Amino acid sequence: MSTAPASLFDKIRIVLVNTSHPGNIGGAARAMKNMGLSRLYLVAPKEYPADKAVWRAASAVDVLDGAVVVETLDEAIAECGLVVGTSARERRIPWPLLTPRECGERCWAELEQHEVAIVFGREDRGLTNEELHKCNYHVHIPANPAYSSLNLAAAVQVLAYEMRMAFLTAEKGAAPHFDDWDMPPAKQQALEMYYQHLQQTLEELGFLEADNPRQTMTRLRRLYNRTRLDEMELSILRGVLTATQNYIFHSKK
Ligand code: SAH
């Protein structure tokens, strides 16, 4: 049987946000182990630990045992260089979109460089727009338009399967290459700090109203996200913001 170097599969994390039914957590753990994945992150699960999760996990209890429970999505994706959010339906502001196959290929092409997260939403409401806007790409499983919402663990299964298919292709040496770049891409936590710094500066400039920054910040996030900023570029942009804030501070004196 084919196994990837443990370290590469270990760089993929499956993140479940605010899951209601522990059975789905167990089902997701099983789906992951079947496809060679092991790193499960649970963001504020409603009911966990739970017997139902253990029961549904069957022989993947080790994945549950290793699951990391955190309070916020930010904590779950902080060190990731690539974050993909899943969505059962189209959203108002479209985001760069991947098919499940492209998602597997993209992840596998970037795994050497950094950690990758695939984020799944709540059974009843999916991911919030705010959560989706923290992702580099969105992925939609092209299901029956008359009923496109899969069970959570089933959705994990589909994307984990595509991850495995991409691994098997990569193993044959036929994987698409991630362009060589002189700097690593900015990580999620650094990007989040940049967006906060940007919003704060734009408010100080009087360009953004503090009480209604929403759509503009979303569009700015999308703009920066399209370029996949690297660490050096991000640090230059932070410097520009700091210089702008200093200028505002001195001109007000
Ligand atoms: N009623 C919710 C559906 C949530 S289904 C909504 O309208 O958003 C629970 C989770 O399973 C979703 O958040 C997503 O992570 C995953 N999922 C279900 N169907 C999917 C699909 N067709 N494509 C991608 N992810 C899907």
Q: Where are the chain's structural domains? A: 6-171, 188-252
The CA distance from 16 to 156, in Å, is 9
> What residue owns the CA closest to ligand 1's atom 4?
126
Mean pLDDT of 28-40: 97
Entry pTM = 0.86
| Helix, strand or coil, per DSSP, at residue 138 | strand
219 CA → ligand 1 middle, Å: 23
pLDDT, tens digit, 9 for 90 and up, residues 41-95: 999 999 999 999 999 999 999 999 999 999 999 999 999 999 999 999 877 778 9
Residue to substitute in 86, 90, 119, 132 for testing ligand 1 pocket (most ligand atoms within 8 angstroms of CB): 86
**The pLDDT value given to residue 182:** 84
The reported pLDDT for the residue numbered 50 is 97
Residues whose beta carbon lies within 6 Å of some atom of ligand 1: 86-89, 120-121, 123-127, 140-141, 143, 148-150, 152, 155
Which residue's C-alpha comes closest to atom 21 of ligand 1? 88
Centre of ligand 1 to C-alpha 60, Å, is 23
For all residues of the chain together, what is the average pLDDT?
92
Give the pLDDT confidence of 109-124 residue by residue, as tens digits. Answer: 999 899 999 999 999 9
- Per CATH, the number for 188-252 is 1.10.8.590
Which strand (E) or helix (H) includes residue 158?
helix 152-171
Q: Which CATH number fits domain 6-171: 3.60.10.10, 3.20.20.70, 3.40.1280.10, 3.40.640.10?
A: 3.40.1280.10
**pLDDT one-digit tens code per residue, 193-244:** 999 999 999 999 999 987 776 789 999 999 998 888 999 999 999 999 999 9
What's the CA-to-centroid distance between 192 and ligand 1, angstroms? 24
Q: Angle formed by the axes of helices 231-252 and 188-204, to 10°?
A: 20
One DSSP character per residue, 228-247 reads T-BHHHHHHHHHHHHHHHHH
How close is the Cα of 77 to the center of ligand 1, in Å? 19
Q: Tokens 């992925």 — which residue?
A: 139
Q: What contacts 141, CB < 8 A, 6 or more positions away?
A: 86, 88, 100, 148, 150, 155, 158, 159
| CA 32 / ligand 1 centre spacing (Å) | 17
Centroid of ligand 1 to alpha carbon of 127 (angstroms)? 8
Extract the tokens encoding 83: 């974050």
